[in-house]
């Protein structure tokens, strides 16, 4: 989900309060009882993202984005109609907050592959590292 990356990236911007408000609105719809915890976690994640950027630690930032992708996926699992709302928040709130070069990171990529016999498939939406 591009939304997890966009959320984590957006909370590192000056418009992070808007990014946070968009995320909180999603949880308020599906799990209103979790809103205070989500608000606190987003504050914490902002600090972690800013620290990762200061240290030049792209892997740490990617791990945070992965975590929020999973959280958003769980929201959709709990309420499939939330997918449309996540898309709206992504398009209307999070993506506009991102610097132009960061918008490329949150594009949706759909890949399909099929291997047969002893074939292998390697796909990457971004960087790919293969070690054998």
Parse the chain into domains and list their residue ranges.
2-106
Report the C-alpha gap between 57 and 76 in whole angstroms: 29
Q: Find all residues with CB under 8 Å of 68, minimum gap 6, and list them.
A: 3, 4, 5, 7, 8, 45
User: 19: which 2 tokens?
Assistant: 């990014």
Could you read off the pLDDT of 106-129 as tens digits, one per residue?
Answer: 655 555 678 888 777 776 654 566
Residue 17's pLDDT band, with cuts at 50, 70 and 90, is very high
pLDDT at 122: 73
Mean pLDDT (whole number) for 49-61? 95
Quick one: which H or E segment has residue 64? helix 58-78
Report the C-alpha gap between 112 and 125 in whole angstroms: 12
Mean pLDDT (whole number) for 36-55? 96
Who wins on pLDDT, 15 or 116? 15
Could you read off the pLDDT of 77-112 as tens digits, one per residue?
Answer: 999 999 999 999 999 999 999 988 777 656 555 556
pLDDT at 123: 67
Q: Are 38 and 23 in contact (CB under 8 A)?
A: yes
């Amino acid at each position: 989900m591009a939304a997890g990356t966009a959320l984590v990236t957006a909370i590192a911007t000056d418009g992070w309060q808007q990014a946070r408000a968009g995320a909180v609105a999603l949880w308020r719809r599906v799990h209103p009882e979790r809103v205070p915890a989500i608000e606190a976690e987003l504050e914490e994640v902002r600090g972690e993202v800013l620290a990762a950027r200061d240290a030049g630690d792209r892997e740490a930032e990617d791990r945070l984005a992965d975590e929020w992708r999973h959280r958003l996926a769980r929201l959709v699992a709990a309420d499939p109609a939330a997918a449309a709302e996540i898309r709206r928040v992504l398009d209307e709130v999070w993506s506009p907050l991102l610097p132009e070069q960061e918008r490329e990171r949150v594009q949706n990529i759909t890949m399909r592959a099929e291997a047969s016999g002893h074939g292998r498939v390697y796909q990457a939406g971004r960087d790919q590292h293969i070690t054998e």
